[in-house]
Amino acid sequence: MRVKALDYENPIAVLRDIYWVGFYDQEADLHCNPYLIIDDEEVLLFDPGSIPHFSVVMRKVIDVINPEEITHVVLSHQDPDVCGNIAVVEDLIGRDDLKLVNHSSLTRLVQHYGVKSPFYEVDKNGGKLELKSGRVLEFLHTPFLHSPFGIVTYDHESKSLFSSDIFGGLSDHWSLFASEDAAFESMSRWHQLIIPSNRVLKDFLQKLERFDIQRILPQHGSILEGSFVPRAIEHLRNLPCGIDLTGGTLP
């Protein structure tokens, strides 16, 4: 367990080659978590965030690397908190060969943010991206969790799952790493707000069974490591959401 106080004003190394570069807003109960993977010759930025978060996120990116080194931006889904700033991020990176990595069903929405980079549509590439180093990222389509066009990313090298809104949390007492059981209460609040039913969650959790997951890095809430990983999976497996809470009728 991490005991040292973390400085949320600066980028935080989750692993040697994975960084949190989010904006810590003390007033918010919904914290957004962009991440970087720094591989040999390639750098991936996950869910860069919103326009209001742009300056802080990019300052933290610049503290770690030169933005021109970013070769891929992974877009888990279309929400403004996920990629509202993508067009300005793209400009700052300034690479002709930058790739936007997303599900093909998302492309028709993301282009409305005014992007110009080519898309790497994961479902048209075997659900995988192999980096020059041989590192393999695998993508799962996660329809209705909550976006019909969403994906999560599993990094085989670090055994990390970048889980988008899934496994996220809503809390007035946010910390980057889950360290107490309150994390499960935060997860309940968030999932019961955005997930349409337990059925879709259960189906997704079943698909995860073939992966050895050491940590989960959600786009909101806290990073889950160690025993928090299986406990979070079990927690969501049994969590009624959305239409389950209304007796099967629409509110």
* Nearest CB to Fe ion, comparing residues 11 and 218: 218
* Nearest CB to Fe ion, comparing residues 39 and 79: 79
Half-sphere exposure of 82 (CA within 13 A, CB side): 26
In the bound state, the residue with its beta carbon closest to Fe ion is 79
* Nearest CB to Fe ion, comparing residues 39 and 218: 218
List 19, 165, 174, 190, residue binding Fe ion (CB under 5 A):
165
Spatial separation of the C-alpha atoms in residues 117 and 110, rounded to whole Å: 11
Contacts of 81 (CB under 8 A, 6+ apart): 30, 32, 49, 50, 53, 219
Work out how close the CB of 33 gets to Fe ion at its nearest, in angstroms, rounded to a whole number.
9
List 35, 71, 79, 187, residue binding Fe ion (CB under 5 A):
79
Spatial separation of the C-alpha atoms in residues 89 and 53, rounded to whole Å: 11
Is there binding between residue 47 and Fe ion (CB under 5 A)? no
In the chain, which ranges are continuous DSSP H helix?
54-64, 80-83, 86-93, 104-110, 182-194, 198-207, 228-237
Is there binding between residue 39 and Fe ion (CB under 5 A)? no
* Nearest CB to Fe ion, comparing residues 77 and 215: 77
Distances in Å between the Cα of 104 and the Cα atoms of 7, 63, 173, 248 are 37, 32, 36, 31
- Cross-strand partners of 154: 138, 161
**Amino acid sitting at position 24:** Y
* Nearest CB to Fe ion, comparing residues 11 and 221: 221
Going residue by residue from 124 to 163, which x/- string records binding to Fe ion, judged by CB under 5 A? ----------------------------------------
Going residue by residue from 205 to 244, which x/- string records binding to Fe ion, judged by CB under 5 A? --------------x-------------------------
Q: Which two tokens mark 29?
A: 């109960």
By the criterion CB under 5 A, which residues form the site for Fe ion? 79, 81, 165, 219
